[in-house]
């Protein structure tokens, strides 16, 4: 049973007659998620935020909480960075046009130029990229899905038109009596092959080709992937918890195991399909197979956030790139979570030597104030018609794009000081996590990640000697209960990684201080001691 099944079963905390409860409280009491958050110690309201700190109001006293979640990695410069806030206020004071759709919008061109320069520097790829803007990461993924299908359909149309032209030439040659024989081998074996049966052969070929072209595309992703929760993007998100209820809504996705790079090519070969074509050579009409673009795209996160912040291996990314080249499909590098400097480089994929045909970026692109994302398409693949076919009322609004351009300038300032800071702070945080793991080997099973995108995994506690701990582990709520404990006792905000409840995530801003790392270490050592000592009562006792 997962944590959200558990949440649905929670009895609401306020059992009074709902008709006697004030309206505001009744709304809270009827909200299942809020009730569940309260039950695990996370049902708090933050009243202010700055840097890596959120603030609670407890009996009129402001209490600081160290925030290691930072908007699920959306705050590379922290909450309300003064430079970004000042710039946003200036934009509003200047009354920049926020909504002026179907007009020239200079910030978007500026962002595209800056992104091209950064991508070229980090990857060595000289291709230019066109930018399509969106509001959220999941929307950027859906934009890539749509564009990949548009690209695929154009490839199919060109292939079908070429085959039809070849068939017409062969038909004319047969009728002119210049074809002596027909060669039918391989996948076409068994079809009519006598010259007198040419029309029957062509009818069979066209039926078979029509069946293939009518099929829906297959998209590829990795197990443990997280690419969003919208109707199409959720199909690429591996966890059945998010995906299973909605599998009928979109195209088929095949998930491949990132732990088995050697299995990528065989799996891809199984998906290859062909159309039948005819070549004329002298007096022979020869049936040949043409590769059909059955695969729409391959979606990859350089660092799998929902898999405990695990980076992909260089061997794996080489196999993925080779598979996409063989299939002719675009490789979509999802940098929504890992990009924007979080791993010590603008693109986490640059650590791995991974080059994409499409890229997605988001989260910190909005500076922690606005919602902004972008999909980049290599211009050798970009279809200009897409800018008309796809549109969004709120995408590339004047305020969010102005802030996005400002964020890019801040990341690139001082020869990339922000990237170096993320790498250095990440190393310092990682060293602390590794030290805690070494001191509690029976409790901590792994520390993963790059830069300021880190995860710590705990051993399964389903058989812990404390029934309190064991029951919460079996119910899927231990990770959130641990997070509630460190929030209450240590004023540190942690959350599990993705659907896993045996891990916690660390995604602070580059403003992380040594004192904050020390505060985090004390919190982690405390919960590791609780698990090691099987002290469930301390975990759930409210002081």
From the centroid of its chain, how far is CA 531?
32
Judge whether residue 362 has pLDDT over 90.
yes
CA dist list (Å): 131 to 2, 155, 383, 502, 512: 39, 21, 12, 38, 32
pLDDT bracket for residue 500 (50, 70, 90): low
Task: Taking residues 203-227, report their average pLDDT.
Answer: 95
Q: How confident is the model at residue 498 (pLDDT cuts 50, 70, 90)?
A: confident
**pLDDT tens by residue, 425-435:** 999 999 999 99
pLDDT at site 180: 87
Task: Find out whether 390 and 143 touch, Cβ atoms under 8 Å.
Answer: yes
Neighbours of 221 (CB within 10 A): 23
pLDDT the model gives residue 2? 42
Tens-digit pLDDT profile for residues 19-71: 344 555 545 444 667 777 888 888 899 999 999 999 999 989 999 999 999 99
Using the predicted structure, report yes or no on whether residue 88 has a pLDDT greater than 70. Answer: yes
What value does the mean pLDDT take over residues 371-399? Answer: 94
HEC assignment per residue over 470-531:
HHHHHHCCHHHHHHHHHHHHHCEECCCCCCCCCEEEECCCCCCCHHHHHHHHHHHHHHHHHH
Q: pTM of this prediction?
A: 0.92
Residues in the chain: 543
Tens of pLDDT, residues 159-201: 999 999 999 999 999 999 998 888 887 666 667 667 788 888 8
Q: List the 53-58 sheet strands across, edge first.
A: 46-50, 53-58, 61-67, 492-493
């Amino acid at each position: 049973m997962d944590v959200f099944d558990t949440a649905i079963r929670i009895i609401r905390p306020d059992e009074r007659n709902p008709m006697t409860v004030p309206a505001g409280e009744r709304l809270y009491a009827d909200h299942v998620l809020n009730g569940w958050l309260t039950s695990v110690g996370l049902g708090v309201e933050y009243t202010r935020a700055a840097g890596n700190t959120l603030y609670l109001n407890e009996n009129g006293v402001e209490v600081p909480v160290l925030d290691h979640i930072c908007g699920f990695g959306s705050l590379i410069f922290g909450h309300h960075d003064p430079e970004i806030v000042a710039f946003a206020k200036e934009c509003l004071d200047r009354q920049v046009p926020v909504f002026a759709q179907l007009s020239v919008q200079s910030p978007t061109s500026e962002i595209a130029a800056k992104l091209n320069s950064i991508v070229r520097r980090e990857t060595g790829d000289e291709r230019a990229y066109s930018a399509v803007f969106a509001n959220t990461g999941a929307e950027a993924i859906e934009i890539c899905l749509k564009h990949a299908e548009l690209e695929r359909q154009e490839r199919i149309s060109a292939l079908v038109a070429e085959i039809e032209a070849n068939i017409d030439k062969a038909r004319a040659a047969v009728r002119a009596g210049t074809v002596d024989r027909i060669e039918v081998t391989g996948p076409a074996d068994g079809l009519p092959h006598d010259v007198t049966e040419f029309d029957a052969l062509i009818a069979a070929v066209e039926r078979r080709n029509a069946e293939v072209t009518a099929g829906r595309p297959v998209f590829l992703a990795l197990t443990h992937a997280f690419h969003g929760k919208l109707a199409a993007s959720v199909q690429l998100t591996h966890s059945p918890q998010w995906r299973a209820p909605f599998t009928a809504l979109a195209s088929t996705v095949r998930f491949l195991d990132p732990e088995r790079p050697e299995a990528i090519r065989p799996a891809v070969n199984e998906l290859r399909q062909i159309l039948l074509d005819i070549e004329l050579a002298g007096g022979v009409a020869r049936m040949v197979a043409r590769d059909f673009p059955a695969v729409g795209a391959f979606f990859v996160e350089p660092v799998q956030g929902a898999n405990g912040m695990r980076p992909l291996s260089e061997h794996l990314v080489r196999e993925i790139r080779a598979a996409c080249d063989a299939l002719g499909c675009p490789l979509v590098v999802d940098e929504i979570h890992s990009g924007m400097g979080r791993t010590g480089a603008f693109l986490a994929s640059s650590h791995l030597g991974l080059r994409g045909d499409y890229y997605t970026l988001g989260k910190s692109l909005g500076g922690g104030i606005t919602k902004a994302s972008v999909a980049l398409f290599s211009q050798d693949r970009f279809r200009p018609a897409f800018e008309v076919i796809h549109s969004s009322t709120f995408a590339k609004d004047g305020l969010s794009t102005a802030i996005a351009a400002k964020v890019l300038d801040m990341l690139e300032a001082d020869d990339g000081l922000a990237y170096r800071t993320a790498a250095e702070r990440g190393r310092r945080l990682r060293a602390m996590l590794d030290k805690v793991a070494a001191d509690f080997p029976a409790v901590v099973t792994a520390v993963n990640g790059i830069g300021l995108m880190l995860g710590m995994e705990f051993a399964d506690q389903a058989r812990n000697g404390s029934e309190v701990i064991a029951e919460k582990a079996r119910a899927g709520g231990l990770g959130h209960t641990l997070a509630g404990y460190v929030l209450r006792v240590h004023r540190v905000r942690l959350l599990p990684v993705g659907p896993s409840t045996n891990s916690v995530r660390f995604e602070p801003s580059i403003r992380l201080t040594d004192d904050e790392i020390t505060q985090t270490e004390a919190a982690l050592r405390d919960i590791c001691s609780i698990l090691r000592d099987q002290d469930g009562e301390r975990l759930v006792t409210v002081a």
